[in-house]
Structure 1
Amino acid sequence: MARCDVCGNDYDKAFQLIQSDGSRGTFDSFECAIHALAPVCEHCGCRIVGHGAEHDGRFFCCAHCAGHAGVQGIEDRV
């Protein structure tokens, strides 16, 4: 069995994720993987699970949050 890097659970169905830079993580659930790896919205602080938006290296969960942070020209839907 493998131990989850986030919660420490020793689980027979744990999985590894390998990032493009070669770093690895072992997780017992997608919830733990998201907690460890998903970027955080710069405005509201939520984990970005979907596509989100990026501007100048800053990550946002949606155009609304990007707009509140002063980013112009990002729209969720045209």
Structure 2
Amino acid sequence: MATCDVCGNRYDKAFQVIRGDRTGTFDSFECAIQAFAPQCPHCGCRVIGHGVEDDGSVYCCAHCARESGVQGLADRTD
């Protein structure tokens, strides 16, 4: 049995996520998200969708980017 890197649970159905040179072992997608998903610098939520990016920062939405002083980003074009 493998041990989750986030919560420490030993689980027979644990899985690994590999991103670049980083590998993690997890017992749930929730733990994998906590370990790998970027955190919005404005509201603190984990960005598990596309989000929006500016100058290396990933925001969960254009609203949070605007609140942080970023201009010109939109969640949709229509």
Q: TM-score range by the shorter chain?
A: over 0.9
Q: Give the corresponding residue for 1:3.
A: 3
> Among the aligned pairs, what percent are the same residue?
68
Q: Give the corresponding residue for 1:65.
A: 64
Runs of 4+ aligned residues of structure 1 deviating over 4 Å after TM superposition are none
- State the number of aligned residues: 77
Q: Give the corresponding residue for 1:18.
A: 18
Q: Which amino acid aligns with 1:67?
A: R
Runs of at least 5 residues in structure 1 that lack an aligned partner in the other structure: none
What is the TM-score when the length of structure 1 is the normalising length?
Answer: 0.95
Helix, strand or coil at the partner of 1:26: strand
Residue 58 of structure 1 deviates from its aligned partner by: 1.1
Helix, strand or coil at the partner of 2:33: helix
Runs of at least 5 residues in structure 2 that lack an aligned partner in the other structure: none
Counterpart CA distance in 2 for 1:35 and 1:23 is: 14
Q: Give the corresponding residue for 2:31.
A: 32
Q: Please, what is the CA RMSD of the aligned residues?
A: 0.7
